[in-house]
Amino acid sequence: MIEPSWIAGLGVILFGIGLLGVFLHKNAIVVLMCIELMLNAANLNFVSAAMHYGDVNGWVFTAIAIAIAAAEVAIGLAILLSMYSTQDTISLEAADILKN
């Protein structure tokens, strides 16, 4: 069985990679994928805490986080499709056009 500390370490590494991706990329699709990576890293940390403490709460939090991630993807892709249909770009630099 894998130690929970190794799983938590993997979660921290994946969260860092996702955070770097959010800060460094301009493409909205890549930023959404990096946010999903960060949410999955948080799920890994919830699961590792549940394994470490022998409690079910981490699994419940993971299920809730997966539902939130699915809703975030649906809303984010709808916004990006709307932006692409009006502006023919999905660059985050052009996102301020949506303010009007």
- Calculate the average pLDDT of the chain: 89
* Residue-wise pLDDT tens digits, 14-55: 999 999 999 999 888 899 999 999 999 999 999 999 999 999
Task: Identify the architecture of domain 26-99 in CATH.
Answer: Orthogonal Bundle (1.10)
Per-domain boundaries in the chain:
26-99
Q: In this model, does residue 66 exceed pLDDT 80?
A: yes
Q: What is the pTM of this model?
A: 0.83
Would you give the end-to-end CA distance of the chain in angstroms?
54
Closest CA to 13 of 40, 32, 33, 47: 40
